[in-house]
Chains A and B, each alone.
Chain A
Amino acid sequence: MTDLNAFTLADARDRLRAGDITSVELTEACLNALEGAGALNAFVHKTPEKALSQAKAADARIAEGDAPAMCGLPVGIKDLFCTMGVPSQAGSAILNGFRPEYESTVTQKLFDAGAVMLGKLNMDEFAMGSSNETSVYGKVVNPWRRADDTAELTPGGSSGGSAAAVAADLCLAATGTDTGGSIRQPAAFTGTVGIKPTYGRCSRWGIVAFASSLDQAGPMTKTVRDAAIMLEVMCGYDPKDSTSADIPVPDFEAMLTGDIRGKTIGIPREYRMEGMPEEIETLWSEGRRMLEEAGAKIVDISLPHTKYALPAYYVIAPAEASSNLARYDGVRYGHRATLAQGDGITEMYEKTRAEGFGPEVQRRVMVGTYVLSAGFYDAYYNRARKVRTLIKRDFDDVFAQGVDAILTPATPSAAFGLGEMNDADPVKMYLNDVFTVTVNLAGLPGITVPAGQDSQGLPLGLQLIGRPWEEGDLLNCAHALEAAAGFVAKPEKWW
């Protein structure tokens, strides 16, 4: 029998309801797995007592015949989510010791649906990074390794802890958040599934803010079916988030028919980047062929402003971050610097923020401050917002032409080595998000599905982008792609 922690959400749910296993057994299997996985550095705050008490409660509910969607299923929570009484630091030293007095809406919804929390997952500081190397807790290591060497690889970022934990079977699924690709890129690097829903689907309340107009939460799972199950629980209107959408959440799992005959899939020519590795190019064509064989109609499309998405993002996201992160001032929570004789409040702010923020966060806060400053606001910030309008219009146009979903590569490469980008300039790291960032700027749903392996055996992902609010259709397309790709590889355990 498969180790309990290696179950998918769907299988575990069915076994729990059939009475074959208990949530306590399932939870203990995960706790054992994560105890032995220190080398991955994925879980940074473990909550075994909370997990076991939630598991017992779930078992009681199941016994009474009251088993909601996630009842008894153990998951990991990205450190960006505020969880009551449990450290929630967003991977930053500036939130040292912070224990929220409240629960984020998304985690509350998961708990209401019976989910069990195993602990908090590592991430890039304030979700700013693509390699999980900017975390105050230290880097996360990808459970995958190249066939011919033992070099440590990045799990991607910023939801790298979530991706590594799911790939290594430390939990059945995990929450992630995605501002420019932070769910989809790590999912692609670890052979897992990650979906960022339409902006407004998941409440942002209680999620530490990075760039409020781009941030969305989503699930990171082992299969597309699991993504459908968990996403449905995470979604829904919340009066505490003024941008939360008050529209019904469909039964996503019921929409997984696998039938995509007659659907129109667009292949955007602008995503064929110069210098793109041949393996990525091949995978993309394979994906195209698979969807075509499943009965979809494939059309070539154009998204002319694609090239400007990354530069627009690197104005808008830092601008919003500089505003959001102004709250970390050493007054209300977290770290406060030790002051010297005669230091006033300004020194307190400046020293606290210099000590509490890591280099990448400082850089982005300052870039954001600059593009919002008098004299540059129009040239940078307003111009970027106009370009954002054009990027969204590109998508509106192709959807109006009848395209149901868009197929692209998920990342420009497979997982790279930890430390490999140390000497590169910051812009080189930003290029990781080249295929994912457009989706955040346009507020669309996007999902990555593992679709193949490179010559070194590392997983590669494909991305599908859907119409706004059509996550059900998008998941169904992804389900068809997943079935055709038949990706079943798992990392060999070395940790």
Chain B
Amino acid sequence: MSIDTDTAARIATLARIKVEEDALPELAQEFNTILGFIEQLGEVDVEGVEPMTSVTPMRLRRREDVVTEGGQQDKVLSNAPDAREGFFAVPKVVE
């Protein structure tokens, strides 16, 4: 299938990446090249094959549901572009 500029714009929105209107045709073209390459997977007979979830057979380990490294608010916030009064600050979300 072929990706048009509307689809390219929708993908950019889903990915939360701003793409200027005039860049959309080229982006759509690149998607088509990459997806065209991926299309080969359609040739493979995958009937009855399980999709891989883990490359080595392993069960994820469980641990006690307890705090391991807590109480580090300053460190958690130290790299934030905008942190105020012990919180991450963002533009207004609700009116």
Contact = CB atoms under 8 A, between A and B. Distances in A.
Are A and B associated in one complex?
yes
B17 A242 contact: no
A217 B75 CA distance: 26
A199 B52 CA distance: 14
A358 to B, nearest CB: 11
Contact of B50 (A373, A386, A442): A386
Given A101-B76, A345-B90, 17 more contacts: A98-B79, A243-B58, A305-B44, A307-B40, A314-B37, A315-B38, A315-B41, A332-B88, A334-B79, A339-B91, A354-B18, A363-B30, A367-B34, A380-B38, A385-B52, A427-B33, A468-B56
B63 interface: yes
A389 B80 contact: no
A99 interface: yes
A389 B56 CA distance: 11
A101 B40 CA distance: 44
A366 B32 CA distance: 12
Contact of B14 (A200, A305, A373): A373
A315 B40 CA distance: 12
A99 B38 contact: no
A312 to B, nearest CB: 6
B88 A331 contact: yes
Interface in B25-78: 27, 30-31, 33-35, 37-44, 46, 49-56, 58, 60-61, 63, 72, 75-76, 78
B81 interface: yes
A427 B13 CA distance: 24
B30 A443 contact: no
Interface of B: 3, 11-19, 27, 30-31, 33-35, 37-44, 46, 49-56, 58, 60-61, 63, 72, 75-76, 78-82, 88, 90-93
Contacts of B17: 350, 353-354, 357, 362, 365-366
A349 B91 CA distance: 11
Contacts of B91: 339, 343-345, 347-348
Interface string A234-253: 00000100110100000000
A335 interface: yes
B46 A386 contact: yes
B41 A308 contact: yes
Contact of B18 (A239, A245, A332, A353): A353
Contacts of A362: 15, 17, 19
Given A350-B16, A353-B16, A199 B55 contact: yes
A384 interface: yes
A339 B81 CA distance: 13
Nearest to A313: B38
Interface string A299-327: 00000010110111011000000100010
Interface string A383-419: 1111111101000000000000000000000000000
B81 A199 contact: no
Contacts of A383: 41-42, 44, 46
Q: Which of B41, B49, B90 has the most CB of A within 10 A?
A: B41
A344 to B, nearest CB: 5
A350 B18 contact: yes
Closest 7 CB pairs of A and B: A443-B55, A385-B51, A336-B81, A333-B79, A350-B18, A386-B46, A354-B18
A381 to B, nearest CB: 8
A369 interface: yes
B38 A311 contact: yes
28 contacts: A100-B79, A101-B75, A101-B79, A242-B61, A243-B58, A243-B60, A307-B40, A314-B34, A332-B88, A333-B80, A333-B81, A335-B81, A344-B91, A347-B18, A348-B90, A348-B91, A350-B17, A362-B17, A363-B27, A363-B30, A366-B11, A366-B31, A370-B31, A373-B11, A386-B51, A388-B51, A427-B37, A443-B56
Given A345-B93, A392-B55, A443-B55, A426 B40 contact: no
B30 to A, nearest CB: 6
A99 B78 CA distance: 9
A440 B82 CA distance: 38
A351 interface: yes
